[in-house]
Amino acid sequence: MKQKTGTDICREYRAKYPEFPTLKLAKVIYRNNKLRFSNVESVRTVLRKIEGKIGEKSRSTMRDKTLFMEAHRPFNPYGLPESYEKKYEPFLIKGHSKVGILSDIHLPYHNMTALTTSIQYLKKQKVDAVLLNGDTIDCHHLSRFEKDPHARSFADEIKALNQLFDVLEKRLSCQIYFKIGNHELRYEHFLKQKAKELEGIEDFEFSNLIKANQRGVKIIQSNQYMKLNKLRGIHGHEFKGGISAPVNIARGLYLRGKVSAFQGHNHATSEHTEPNLDGDITTTWSIGCLCELHPDYMTLNKWNHGFAYVELDQNGRDYRFHNKRIQGGQVL
């Protein structure tokens, strides 16, 4: 069997992770192939070549141009040092007519009736996509807070998540989007603090742990906000310092975001609308949770069960947002 060259390896990784910046991908490749490459920079050089970023002469002589990427050439007339600035982009959810939104399930601490009710309702609405909008699993044992030794293990949580994927695939038969919330982010923090040596190894990437690629589940990163036509969406932890909302969570989102948007995270349903001087209306929503309402760490609270769905016009602009509460197994 012919041994893979460094170029072969880099091509495989670039094809598999087209969204990764070159430097980030080079670090991943180097960690997994240290016997093949001398350092990260040597990997980066190969990547830049197959991406068509090493000059016109190199691009013209390359036979396989399928992985060429548009080179971003910053304005730099003074020869300033190379920048490692990261490009920030929102995640586009498009090509759908109805998207169901399930927030804060916190598997395996979900409320069975509320979760079942929401799935049944979305099935009747014939949604063609579902967004798991963060904190879908709890990651209890990866928390920096005091842990219950009797709580379900992280492995059990991953198993429960795949059971949920099975149900959604069978009952809704639609595209699944998975937003990384602050609870899923515990896994990344755990690796950095307790198992840094495992960072960059493919098998330990969160998307592979939950079998997202195998199932066709699309991952939305923790720091990304979402665009659904002119509507914006977040989990709710993305703003540093959180959203100050002593009375109305949705108003807190309006004050931070200044655009029509939705969020989960706070486990309560709310809505806020304000017009500007021209009469244009901005509305924000917070979505209820689908987990237990009285956990030991916050027994008394203002939480409620709920979910949402959004209808998207094919003009790429308009939408209709439906924010639902659940009480006693009934959608209100």
**Rounded Cα distance, 216 and 234, in Å:** 21
**What is the DSSP code string of 6-75?**
HHHHHHHHHHH-TTS-HHHHHHHHHHH-TTT-SSHHHHHHHHHHHTT-S-HHHHHH-S--TT--------
Sign of CA dihedral 256, 259, 263, 268: positive
Q: pLDDT at position 75, please?
A: 75
Lowest-confidence region among 11-20, 221-230, 265-274 = 11-20
Q: pLDDT at position 130, please?
A: 98
198 has pLDDT over 80: no
Q: Which of 4, 299, 25, 291 is nearest to 164 (CA)?
A: 291
Beta-carbon count within 10 A of 231 CB: 22
pLDDT in tens, 20-79: 888 889 999 999 999 889 999 999 999 988 888 877 766 667 777 788 876 556 778 888
Both structure tokens of 195: 């198992």
Asked if 207 contacts 213 with a C-beta cutoff of 8 angstroms, the reply is: yes
Both structure tokens of 142: 């990866």
329 has pLDDT over 60: yes
Per-chain mean pLDDT for the chain: 91
At residue 164 the predicted structure's pLDDT band, cuts being 50, 70 and 90, is: very high
Of the chain, the percentage scoring pLDDT greater than 70 comes to: 96
**What is the DSSP code string of 42-57?**
HHHHHHHHHTT-S-HH
Domain ranges across the chain: 6-61, 91-331
Q: What CATH number labels 91-331?
A: 3.60.21
Q: pLDDT at position 70, please?
A: 63
**Rounded Cα distance, 214 and 76, in Å:** 42
Higher pLDDT, 141 or 260: 260
Q: pLDDT at position 85, please?
A: 82
245 has pLDDT over 80: no
Asked if 152 contacts 108 with a C-beta cutoff of 8 angstroms, the reply is: yes
Asked if 144 contacts 247 with a C-beta cutoff of 8 angstroms, the reply is: no
Q: pLDDT at position 1, please?
A: 61
Question: Averaged over 70-94, what is the pLDDT?
Answer: 82
Of the chain, the percentage scoring pLDDT greater than 90 comes to: 69
Query: 267 — alpha (psi -120 to 50), left (phi > 0) or beta?
Result: left
SS3 240: coil
Ranges 20-29, 105-114, 186-195, most confident: 105-114
Both structure tokens of 26: 């080079």
- The pTM score is 0.80
**Rounded Cα distance, 267 and 281, in Å:** 25
Between the CA of residue 55 and those of 11, 49, 89, 170, what are the distances in Å?
Answer: 19, 9, 26, 49
Q: pLDDT at position 168, please?
A: 98
Length of the chain: 332
Q: pLDDT at position 72, please?
A: 59
What's 122's DSSP letter?
H
**Angle at 125 (CA atoms; ends 120, 128), nearest 5 degrees:** 100
Asked if 297 contacts 109 with a C-beta cutoff of 8 angstroms, the reply is: no
Q: Which of 231, 242, 236 is nearest to 281 (CA)?
A: 231
Cis link prior to 77 (omega < 30° from 0)? no
Q: pLDDT at position 196, please?
A: 75
Q: pLDDT at position 60, please?
A: 67
Q: pLDDT at position 312, please?
A: 98
pLDDT in tens, 261-316: 999 999 999 999 999 999 999 999 999 999 999 999 899 999 999 999 999 999 99
Question: Averaged over 218-232, what is the pLDDT?
Answer: 97
